[in-house]
Amino acid sequence: MLTRLPRFVAVLAALLLSPACRQPKSAVETAGTTASPKVATASAPATAGGNQKKILNYGNGAEPADLDFQIVTGTPEHRLALTFFEGLINEDPQLKIIPGVAEKWEISPDGLVYTFRLRADARWSNGDPVTADDFVQSYRRMIGPTLGAEYSYMLWHVVGAEDFNKGKLSDFNQTGFKAPDARTLVLTLRQPTPFLLHAMNHYAWFPLHIPTLKKFGAMDRKSTPWSRPESFVGNGPYALKEWRANQKIIAVRSPTYWDHAAVKIDEIHFFPIELADTEERMFRTGQLHITNEVPLSKIPVYQRDQPGNIRIDPYNGIYFYRFNAKRKPFDDVRVRRALALSIDRETLVKKVTLAGEIPAYDFTPPDLVGFVSRHAFKADLTEAKRLLAEAGFPGGKGFPKVELLYNTLEKHRTIAEALQQMWRKNLGIDITLYNQEWKVYLDSQHSKNYQFERAGWIADYVDPHVFFDIWETDGGNNDTNWGNRDYDRLLRSALDAKSTADRYEIYQQLEKILVDEMPIMPIYFYMRARLVSPKVKGYFTTPLDNFPWKYADMEN
């Protein structure tokens, strides 16, 4: 019996120590991603299969919900969709529309009919040709009521799509999706939609391989295993090789992709890491080449010590506070304006948010595909005080109890505290802060059960329109109780505008209405900070925070 204790200890010790001894072996098996960090930091990232193999290790934020891109909604999923699929068109790093599966297209003079000519060499990862019917069938699935796809509304621009999605139309043949032959796809719109091509680089518009879907029962069934690596078929620059849940997703260069010669990196390994601190540590040991985020406190450190490793790029979104226009005191436009005019956004972005965010004095990110607001307001303390006095609260006297809601996150609390200080100092009003867990907060927001809340909006495609249509009266994402008939009418007419210049002119009028009525208070336009290893060449990110992978390369 006495011998048992030491033996027990020995077994445990062996269990714990053995990994250390076996480490070199694992380095070969796992090639640069997981292996001995020495290998990863000291030499080229790829050690397996010779020095030629280029492997990019990429921090992708969160575990994707699924790789069936018709039923997902997140940004980690968006980046994976652009890896494994390609739509009719594509965007280059400057967001210029370039051909994708369609080699060319024509738009009818009235802007209502889009005719796409598919390239002959477009192939699925199993070798099948990508046909126009694949697109039509995919769209049929996307807007089918049984699938319950959250992004199905992206397709509502097409005739009949909305009715079909809502179950009001049961005959799919009456919708505007048509495939006259294998290489021609025709979309008929219900209204000219000038930004349609940009919107089409969203995964809601990507095709799926119909025979693979059908292998697992009815095409519009959700939650079938078609999207697992053993059955997955895509048509993008990369093919899915491995998906280990919460571990990593391995994408390998697809030999069947029509433009495969342009794809430079052999493999991309996506790591689902939710914690910015963990990512930063993995970046330092060489486990990651690109991170999804940078811990707030580390941004100034990297900017000072290793400016070559940090990138800060514009991000297509706005951070703002939402007023509930039916709750006192925010039913009074003068109060809303007073609050918006009396904060120091420059100090806020410089001292608090730190990632070079752009102070927001209007409602669309600066120079968004050529749209620049003429109606931006200015911070104006005298005017703010005058407005507040006019509303019946001179010097903040008699100002009712106001509660600001934010979702539980350190950053939002810090920002709210800074603004709370500014209002106390500048207007003499006191604002109470309270926080709620993410989904509780969203529930309060959507049920308009708040007075005043922190919010953000990241657009799904690049066009000023996405920043205006949320403020339509009773729109699903408006949530302010604010509405304006003129605004709604102008917004609808924007899509019928004859030219981009005319359309932008309408947006200028919308800007004017928003600045005058201030249903929300813009604070800043987002920027996205990332750590990027100097080994990564030709790295581009677009304001949608995704990457045209074909342009990226790795140093050997």
**69 versus 377: smaller Cβ distance to another protein:** 69
Smallest gap from Cβ 334 to another protein, in A, equals 29
> Are residues 291 and 539 in contact, defined by beta-carbon separation less than 8 angstroms?
no
* CA 139 – CA 186 distance, rounded (Å): 12
Q: Which is nearer to another protein, 153 or 551 (CB)?
A: 153
Minimum gap (Å) between residue 279 Cβ and another protein = 9
Question: C-beta of 407: minimal distance to another protein in Å?
Answer: 9
CB of 124 to another protein, least distance (A): 19
Which of residues 90 and 291 has its CB atom nearest to another protein in the complex?
Answer: 291
3-class DSSP assignment, residue 413: helix
User: Is the CB of 148 or the CB of 398 nearer to another protein?
Assistant: 148
Selection from 398, 400, 403 nearest residue 416 by Cα: 403
Q: Give the nearest distance from C-beta 2 to another protein in angstroms.
A: 7
Q: How far is the CB of 454 from another protein (least distance, A)?
A: 12
Least spacing, CB of residue 248 vs another protein, in Å: 8
Cβ–Cβ under 8 Å, residues 457 and 480: no
- Tokens representing residue 284 in the block: 């330092």
| Distances 419 to 108, 414, 521, 524 between C-alpha atoms, Å | 50, 9, 12, 13
Q: Which alpha helices (DSSP H) does 405-473 contain, by range?
A: 410-427, 438-446, 465-468
| Spatial CA neighbour of 374 closest among 486, 504, 496, 503 | 504
- To which H or E segment does residue 491 belong? helix 485-494
Element (H, E) at 433: strand 431-436
- To another protein, the closest distance from the beta carbon of 315 in angstroms equals 15
Q: How many helices (H) and strands (E) does the chain have?
A: 17, 18
Q: Which is nearer to another protein, 342 or 478 (CB)?
A: 478
How many angstroms separate the CA atoms of 315 and 292, rounded?
Answer: 13
Contact between 342 and 422 under an 8 Å Cβ cutoff? The reply is yes
| Closer residue to another protein (CB): 215 or 446 | 446
| Residues forming beta bridges with residue 28, ordered by sequence position | none
Q: How far is the CB of 211 from another protein (least distance, A)?
A: 18
Q: Specify the residue, 34 or 509, whose C-beta has the smaller distance to another protein.
A: 34
C-alpha closest to that of 197 among 374, 462, 436, 413: 462
The minimum distance between CB 449 and another protein, in angstroms, equals 9
Query: Measured from the CB of residue 508, what is the shortest distance to another protein in angstroms?
Result: 26
Q: Which is nearer to another protein, 83 or 287 (CB)?
A: 287
The CA-atom distances, in angstroms, between 100 and each of 97, 120, 258, 369, 525 are: 9, 12, 9, 20, 30
At residue 266, what are phi and psi to the nearest 5 degrees?
-75, -45
* Rounded Cα–Cα distance for residues 497 and 512 (Å): 18
Pairing of strands 431-436, 402-407: parallel
DSSP β-ladder status, 431-436 and 248-253: unpaired
Is residue 85 within 8 Å of 206, Cβ to Cβ?
A: yes
131 versus 291: smaller Cβ distance to another protein: 291
Smaller CB distance to another protein: residue 262 or 301? Answer: 301
Comparison of 274 and 331: residue with beta carbon closer to another protein: 274
